[in-house]
């Protein structure tokens, strides 16, 4: 029987005989956490090693160094040797984060959510070795460190695409209220016969990420209490950043598309973004200063309980054993039957081992690679059908991996409902174009295709990617007819229609 210093109550505690049992329990607990979350930890390690996320790595290392410098490593070492303490809030965080991680891996397969659950579970375990007040004071720092992980691409998909749709619809409503004729299709706005693409930089994901890190850092340094007032200030900052981005996009669309002042739009693009970000952060910081500060630490350290550590380690080990990733969608669909015009001369090519692994490992139901010739155009063509968005990819990555230099990227509307992404390669020596297609809809936006794949995992999509060796202007009639022919052939296949004769479809005609 021992007396808990924090409550004054006498409790029965299982004492293990040997003094090293606490260290053993702590080692097993940390090892079980690493075992259970190994898939996510491997993803974090691999992603941080990518040169595109070097800033995230440097930021995480810098934050880790600051956190360690402000912590008492000697006290933490003693706590690890004694074993974990029974703290309700950290235990609840470990349990909820672990269950949420298992559910996410099985049902969603979203690395962003899995990484968040992994980090929160780790911080919950840390809470078993520090005092309650120290754990609550360090919570903003833990969120700050988790936020420094490489979530850029994931955030662009799961946050950026919905944000761009909302921005596009808001700008469309604003222009219509101003009497400007505008037609919106997803993230594309057609204003006075000119197309404006609300692209990834317009989503404001980077400013939301940077603003969130600023808010968490200010919370930690200002020592503000995490509560309802703090949450309200954070929500205000998010809304202010979003509103500033909407106004910036509205101004750019008006300048570039409505007034035709492209140079002016390019000139104010960055200053408007910096101004909106700065004003929103200053306002959010002002509200944060009104939040109540943290109370002084008064709690004492409870005795270590090695048995608790052994039990929690066993629970995490069970989680590792029952872990089941989301199954790769399979299909029994017939091979992709494309009825193509006779003017399109195709020669079947073999995929490279890397390409075959990318497509088939993630459950692509059908994939083809050809070289082609069409009305003086020569190049390469890849068509991949899959239910899993992971079997598709942004073709820009493959082109860069093949040694191409992307000089320019732009969206082209072949028809008002048929957007195609066009890439100028190697100073104009070649031109690539691609799009993603499902029944009744096409998009040139990989984030839209991914977002739809998460919401509707059983929906069939086809990726069409092509490179033309000697490009012509984007509105070239032969290239336009080739895009239409491929789109219509894919649509017929997705609908399960009987293959059409090569001369039946009007868009395949070479007549003007």
Long-range contacts of 66-74 (CB under 8 A, 24+ apart): 67/138, 67/141, 67/145, 71/138
**Is the model's pLDDT at 499 over the cut of 70?**
no
pLDDT value at residue 46: 84
Q: Which residues pair with 462 in a beta bridge?
A: 385, 437
Higher per-residue pLDDT: 327 or 77: 77
The DSSP line for 362-422 is: TTEEEEEEEEEEETTEEEEEEEEEESSGGG---HHHHHHHTT--EEEEEEEEEETTEEEEE
Q: CB of 279 within 8 A of CB of 213?
A: no
The DSSP line for 98-110 is: HHHHHHHHHHT--
Question: What is the average per-residue pLDDT within 237-251?
Answer: 94
**Is the model's pLDDT at 506 over the cut of 50?**
no
Higher per-residue pLDDT: 432 or 298: 432
- Only one residue has tokens 């408007």, namely 272
**Is the model's pLDDT at 429 over the cut of 90?**
no
Q: What is the pLDDT of residues 200-229, one digit of tens each?
A: 778 888 899 999 999 999 999 999 999 999
109: phi then psi, degrees, rounded to nearest 5: 60, 50
pLDDT value at residue 158: 78
Long-range contacts of 401-404 (CB under 8 A, 24+ apart): 404/430, 404/432
pLDDT value at residue 435: 96
Most confident of 61-70, 140-149, 464-473: 140-149
pLDDT value at residue 397: 73
Mean pLDDT, the chain, rounded, equals 84
Split at pLDDT 50, 70, 90, the class of 153 is low
Among 141-150, 151-160, 254-263, 432-441, whose mean pLDDT is lowest? 151-160
Q: Can you give the pTM of this predicted structure?
A: 0.77
Chain-centroid distance of CA 21 in Å reads 42
Among 33-42, 48-57, 495-504, whose mean pLDDT is lowest? 495-504
pLDDT value at residue 312: 96
Report the alpha-carbon distance of residue 419 to residue 399 in Å, rounded.
20
- pLDDT above 70 as % of the chain: 88
Q: CB of 507 within 8 A of CB of 343?
A: no
Report the alpha-carbon distance of residue 418 to residue 483 in Å, rounded.
9
Split at pLDDT 50, 70, 90, the class of 340 is confident
pLDDT value at residue 400: 74
Most confident of 116-120, 200-204, 351-355: 116-120
Judged by phi (left if over 0) then psi (alpha if -120 to 50, else beta), residue 318 lies in: alpha
Report the alpha-carbon distance of residue 138 to residue 334 in Å, rounded.
56
Closest among 76, 245, 251 to 167, alpha carbons compared: 245
Q: CB of 217 within 8 A of CB of 138?
A: no
Question: What is the average per-residue pLDDT within 428-440?
Answer: 91
Split at pLDDT 50, 70, 90, the class of 342 is confident
Report the alpha-carbon distance of residue 472 to residue 478 in Å, rounded.
9
- Only one residue has tokens 């969120």, namely 143
């Amino acid at each position: 029987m021992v007396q808990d210093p924090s409550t004054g109550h006498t409790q029965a505690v299982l004492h293990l005989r040997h003094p090293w049992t606490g260290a053993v329990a702590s080692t097993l607990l940390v090892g079980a956490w690493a075992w259970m979350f190994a898939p996510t930890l491997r993803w974090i390690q691999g992603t941080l090693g990518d040169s595109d996320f070097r800033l995230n790595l440097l930021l995480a290392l810098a934050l880790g160094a600051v956190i360690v410098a402000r912590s008492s490593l000697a006290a933490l070492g003693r706590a690890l040797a004694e074993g974990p303490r029974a703290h309700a809030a950290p235990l609840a965080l470990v349990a909820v984060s672990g269950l949420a991680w298992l559910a996410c891996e099985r049902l969603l397969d979203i690395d962003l959510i899995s990484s968040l659950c992994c980090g929160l579970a780790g911080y919950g375990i840390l809470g078993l070795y520090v005092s309650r007040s120290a754990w609550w004071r360090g919570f903003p720092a833990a969120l700050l460190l988790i936020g420094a992980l490489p979530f850029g691409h994931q955030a662009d998909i799961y946050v950026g695409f919905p944000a761009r749709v909302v921005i596009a619809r808001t700008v469309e409503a604003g222009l219509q209220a101003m009497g400007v004729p505008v037609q919106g299709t997803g993230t594309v706005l057609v204003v006075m016969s000119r197309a404006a693409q609300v692209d990834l930089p317009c989503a404001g994901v980077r400013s939301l990420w940077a603003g969130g890190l600023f808010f968490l850092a200010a919370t930690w340094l200002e020592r503000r209490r995490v509560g309802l007032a703090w949450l309200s200030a954070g929500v205000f900052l998010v809304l202010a950043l979003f509103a500033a981005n909407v106004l910036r996009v509205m101004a750019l669309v008006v300048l570039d598309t409505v007034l035709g002042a492209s140079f002016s739009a390019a000139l104010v693009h960055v200053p408007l973004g910096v101004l909106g970000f700065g004003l929103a952060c200053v306002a959010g910081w002002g509200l944060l200063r009104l939040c109540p500060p943290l109370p002084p630490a008064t709690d004492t350290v409870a005795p270590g309980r090695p048995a608790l550590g052994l039990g929690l380690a066993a629970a995490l080990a069970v989680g590792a054993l029952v872990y089941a990733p989301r199954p790769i969608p399979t299909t029994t669909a017939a091979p992709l039957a494309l009825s193509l015009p006779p003017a399109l001369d195709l020669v079947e090519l073999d995929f490279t081992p890397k390409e075959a692994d990318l497509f088939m490992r993630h459950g692509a139901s059908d994939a083809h690679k050809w070289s082609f010739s069409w009305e003086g155009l020569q190049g390469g063509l890849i068509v991949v059908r899959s239910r899993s968005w992971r079997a598709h990819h942004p073709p820009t990555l493959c082109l860069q991996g093949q040694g191409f230099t992307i000089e320019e990227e732009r969206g082209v509307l072949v028809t008002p409902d048929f957007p195609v992404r066009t890439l100028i390669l190697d100073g104009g020596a070649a031109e690539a174009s691609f799009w993603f297609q499902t029944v009744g809809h096409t998009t040139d936006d990989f984030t839209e295709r991914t977002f739809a794949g998460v919401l509707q995992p059983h929906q069939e999509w086809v990726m069409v990617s092509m490179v033309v060796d000697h490009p012509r202007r984007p509105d070239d009639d032969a290239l336009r007819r080739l895009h239409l022919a491929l789109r219509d052939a894919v649509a017929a296949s997705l609908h399960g229609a009987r293959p059409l004769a090569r001369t039946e479809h009007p868009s395949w005609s070479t007549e003007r």
